Amino acid sequence: MEIKVLGSGCARCQAVEQEVKAALAELGVAAEVTKVTEVSEIISYGVAMTPGLVINGKVRACGRVPSREEIKRWISEERG
C-alpha cells in the first residue's frame, strides 16, 4: 500500500502524516508513507489546497485534516 501526504510541510500537513501513521499502527497495516512537497506533483493529483492525502493513487482528502476514523476506513477499503 502506498500513501502520500501532499503539502509543503505545514502544521496541518504534519497532522495528516501523524494521523496516517497512527491509523496504520492501530490497524496493524504496513504501508509506505511519503511526503510530496513539489508543487507540480501536488497539482498533478488535481489537489489545489493542501494538505492532501492519496492512498494507492486515489485522492481521498484535500484542504483538510481527515479524522483517524476516516483514514482507517479508507485504508481498510484499499486492503479489500
Q: Convert 15-44 into a string of H (helix), E (strand) and C (coil).
A: HHHHHHHHHHHHHCCCCEEEEECCHHHHHH
- pLDDT tens readout for residues 5-63: 999 989 999 999 999 999 999 999 999 999 999 999 999 999 999 999 999 999 999 99
Q: Could you tell me the residue range of the domain that residue 66 belongs to? A: 2-79
Catalytic residue among 3, 5, 6, 13: 13
**Structural domain tally of the chain?**
1
Q: CATH number of the domain that 32 lies in?
A: 3.40.30.10
Q: Average pLDDT for residues 64-79, to the nearest whole number?
A: 97
Catalytic residue among 1, 2, 9, 10: 10
List of residues 6+ apart from 21 with CB closer than 8 A: 33
**Active-site residue, 10 included:** yes
Instruction: State pTM to two decimals.
Output: 0.94
| pLDDT reported for residue 45 | 96
Distance CA 17, CA 65 (A): 9
**Active-site residue, 62 included:** no
Using 50, 70 and 90 to split pLDDT, how confident is the model at 80? confident
